[in-house]
Structure 1
Amino acid sequence: MSRTILTIVGVVLAVWLAMTVVGAILSMMKTFLFIGFVAVVVVLAVTAVSKMTKSR
């Protein structure tokens, strides 16, 4: 009986750990995507400003 209970508890903990890891990875990817988007916007803004000052 205790072996069955420990097996069920082990499965529940494994599923919980898997969901936690998946959530952490997705959160990290969203953060990196946002930082990359901001970097691209900054590069485009600096490029546009530098081209406008050269043409004058």
Structure 2
Amino acid sequence: MGRTILTVVGVILALWLLMSVIGWVLSMLKLFFFVGFVAVLVFLVVTLVAKGAKSR
């Protein structure tokens, strides 16, 4: 009986850990996407300002 209970608790803990890791990975990817998006915006602004200054 004790072995069965420990097996069930082990499976539940493994599923909980798996869901936590999936959440961590998805939030990390969202953060990387946001940082990349901001970097592209900064690049575009700097490029436009540089071209505007060059044409004067």
Q: TM-score range by the shorter chain?
A: over 0.9
TM-score by length of 1: 0.98
TM-score by length of 2: 0.98
RMSD: 0.4
Unmatched 5+ stretches in structure 2: none
% identical aligned pairs? 64
Deviations 1:1-54 (A, max 9, x none): 111100000000000000000000000000000000000000000000000110
Unmatched 5+ stretches in structure 1: none
Aligned residues: 56
Structure 1 runs of 4+ with >2 Å offset: none
In the TM superposition, 1:1-56 aligns within 5 A as 1-56=1-56
* In 2, Cα distance between equivalents of 1:8 and 1:25: 26
Counterpart amino acid of 1:47? T
